[in-house]
């Protein structure tokens, strides 16, 4: 990382939760650094804690031990309100099931993160139009989510994650609800835009094709983050 401050840093992070018959340890003294502008894929079996790790990095949950920094800020020391503001300003989310608000148009879904930051007016309108064009949905602003295909809804979700210019994008199985062809297109678009805008990406996926887009692959197993060899290039 060439001496630069990492975008994400975990030091001695441990976390778990009770389950029938015992205790499920998600992380055990985990250490991790992710540089600014780096794309990292997080893989592992179902239930290994990948989504929980994203919740920790975003400050939705607090680790039970250790420190966790985002952009040089130890989020484990922040209040709930401070963590909410950090997510609002510095983090964008892409989810498996889109999470678009059905009663808002596409443009209104995109405008919402800007409004939460006090950004409105013509500048917000231009940002919405530019981002829709970037995801090949120019002219779709007045449509409602339920009139779009799954792939189109996920492209709107990618646009929403990027529109407020966050430093960090967290994507949790962003193609898991799409057919393989549509999923590959969305994956390529997400990779293209993250790199175009210089964002850091942490991507949870079960798909080797999607993981292949990342700079590094980490496997979460038995509470540890283990480097994974890159999958072979597609023929």
DSSP state of 48: S
pLDDT tens for the chain, residues 1 to 235? 455 789 999 999 999 888 787 777 889 999 999 999 999 999 988 878 888 899 999 999 999 999 999 999 999 999 999 999 999 999 999 988 889 999 999 999 999 999 999 998 999 999 999 999 999 999 999 999 999 999 999 999 999 999 999 999 999 998 888 888 888 888 888 889 889 889 999 999 988 888 888 999 999 988 889 998 765 555 5
Give 163: exposed, middle or buried? Use CB within 10 Å, 0-12, 13-18, 19+.
buried
The pLDDT tens digits for 4-52 are 789 999 999 999 888 787 777 889 999 999 999 999 999 988 878 888 8
pLDDT of residue 1: 47
The 10 Å Cβ neighbour count of residue 198 is 10
pLDDT of residue 96: 83
The pLDDT tens digits for 158-177 are 999 999 999 999 999 988 88
Pairing of strands 216-221, 39-43: parallel
DSSP state of 206: S
Q: Phi-psi bin for 185: left (phi > 0), alpha (psi -120 to 50), beta? A: alpha
- Pairwise CA distance, residues 42 & 36, whole Å: 17
Please name every residue paired with 9 in a beta bridge, in sequence order, or none if there are none.
Answer: 33, 69
pLDDT of residue 219: 93
pLDDT of residue 147: 97
Tokens found for residue 215: 């700079």
- CATH number for the domain whose boundaries are 8-228: 3.40.50.300
Among 80, 61, 77, 71, smallest CA distance to 15 is for 61
């Amino acid at each position: 990382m060439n001496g630069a401050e990492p975008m994400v840093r975990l030091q001695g992070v441990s976390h778990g939760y009770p389950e029938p018959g015992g205790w499920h340890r998600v992380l055990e003294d985990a250490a991790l650094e992710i540089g600014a502008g780096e794309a990292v894929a997080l893989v592992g079996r179902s239930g290994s804690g990948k989504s929980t790790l994203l919740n920790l990095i975003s400050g939705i949950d607090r680790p039970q031990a250790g420190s966790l920094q985002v952009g040089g800020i130890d989020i484990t020391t922040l209040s709930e309100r401070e963590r909410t503001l950090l997510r609002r300003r510095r983090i964008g989310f892409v989810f498996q099931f889109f999470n678009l608000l059905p009663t808002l148009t596409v443009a209104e879904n995109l405008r919402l993160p800007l409004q939460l930051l006090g950004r409105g007016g013509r500048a917000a309108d231009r940002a919405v139009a530019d981002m829709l064009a970037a995801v090949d949905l120019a002219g779709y602003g007045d449509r409602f989510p339920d009139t779009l295909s799954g792939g189109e809804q996920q492209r709107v979700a990618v646009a929403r994650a990027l529109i407020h210019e966050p430093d960090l994008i967290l994507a949790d199985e962003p193609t898991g609800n799409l057919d393989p062809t549509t999923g590959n297109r969305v994956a390529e678009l997400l990779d293209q835009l993250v790199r175009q805008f210089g964002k850091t990406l942490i991507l949870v996926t079960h798909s080797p094709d999607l993981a292949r887009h990342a700079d590094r692959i980490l496997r979460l197993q038995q509470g540890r983050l283990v480097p994974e060899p890159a999958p072979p290039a597609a023929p």
